[in-house]
Amino acid sequence: MKKIAVVILNWNGVKLLEQFLPSVIQFSPEATIYVADNASTDSSIAFVEATFPTVKIVKNAGNYGFAKGYNEALQHIDSEIYALVNSDIEVTENWLTPILETFENEPKTAIIQPKLLDFKNKDYFEYAGAAGGFIDKYGYPYCRGRIFETIEKDIGQYNDAREITWASGACFFIRSKVYHELKGFDDDFFAHQEEIDLCWRAKNKGYIIKYNPKSIVYHVGGATLQQGNPKKTFLNFRNSLLMLVKNLPKEKLIPVLFIRLILDGIAGVHFIFQGKFCHCVAILKAHFAFYSLLSKNYKKRAIFQSNEYYSCKSIVFNYYLNNGKVFVN
């Protein structure tokens, strides 16, 4: 058994597999490579079986989305380290070496993210994770190299390996024992922000999440849901609220949620002024869905929630009122 398993979740993504699976195979001799298929109806499985017979296939019974899709597949994969890789990721030579070295040398490090650059514009960071993720006091996520829609050019400014708050699900390394200890991703999330929730739960248990710039991958992004898709807005707003309920310290839960709901309302008004009415509706639907899942997710709270969960008080204030377009920490 190889120490690391590269697991690519797929749903009707034969074109992406044709384009990106070859780089994973070429540059991952240390790994066993799997395609975890969410009951695709295209020719994905037949293509992989015919073209890349060394790639192992795990077949899920339905389209379970990102969270449950990985949870189901990883029950059948025995490896010390999981590398969860989107099907629209191009990897680079020796991308696994610095990751394996970090895990070997740092036993408390449980999750790692590589440097995530834009496949379509390779000098720039990519939206989904850039140089590692953080959240503000109210649960809004941002990254070194990407704050809201502002994306930085990579000029080596984030070439330091450091602790982060969350690692992007686009390319997500985790010790398998930690993944299973935490019971994996939260199925209720379906997709979007489940990796932030998992990282937050890991931090509450004392584990460390790291960014390693020596490992570099390129991500297309938006291959499943485009950034402007109202469904993406719905999932992001709903899941962010669920994440707060599960992970906030008890004394902060009500005041932080109250302010967050107000900020979400302001975001909805902002969408109206932009003429994006469907996104305002998506936020309303997200809030109603959140209320329906509130009790269930409150019961998921762990015994301990750390007070040290955020890196700035309000990224919204910094960005829109204080012109904070670049990460400072």
Report d(CA 23, CA 9) in Å as an integer: 16
- pLDDT for residue 26 is more than 60: yes
What's the pLDDT band for 2 if we cut at 50, 70, 90?
A: confident
Which two three-digit tokens encode residue 65? 């989305």
- Which domains does the chain possess? 4-219 (3.90.550.10), 230-303 (no CATH)
pLDDT in tens, 180-199: 999 999 999 999 999 999 99
Long-range pairs of 239-242 with CB within 8 A, sequence gap ≥ 24: 239/189, 239/192, 239/193, 239/194, 239/197, 240/139, 240/140, 240/141, 240/193, 241/139, 241/286, 241/287, 241/290, 242/186, 242/188, 242/189, 242/197, 242/290, 242/293, 242/297
Average pLDDT over residues 66-82: 97
| Residue 225 confidence (pLDDT) | 56
What pLDDT digit, counting tens, does each position of 195-253 carry? 999 999 999 999 999 999 999 999 998 655 566 789 999 999 999 999 999 999 999 99
Per the model's pLDDT, the better-predicted residue between 221 and 61 turns out to be 61
Helix residue spans in 38-192 (DSSP H):
44-51, 65-74, 97-105, 176-181
Angstrom distance (rounded) from CA 35 to CA 24: 11
Can you tell me the mean pLDDT for 307-325?
88
Amino acid 223: pLDDT: 56
* pLDDT band of 175, cuts 50, 70, 90: very high
Average pLDDT for residues 269-294, to the nearest whole number?
Answer: 95
pLDDT at 327: 86
pLDDT attached to residue 243: 97
Could you tell me the pLDDT band of residue 329, with boundaries at 50, 70 and 90?
A: low
Quick one: average pLDDT of 62-87?
Answer: 97
Please report the pLDDT score of residue 328 as a whole number: 76
Choose between 328 and 125: higher pLDDT: 125
Question: How high is the pLDDT of residue 272?
Answer: 95
Mean pLDDT of the chain: 95
Q: What is the mean pLDDT of residues 164-192?
A: 97
Q: How far apart are CA 237 and CA 280, in angstroms?
A: 11
pLDDT at 50 over 70: yes
Q: What is the mean pLDDT of residues 18-31?
A: 98
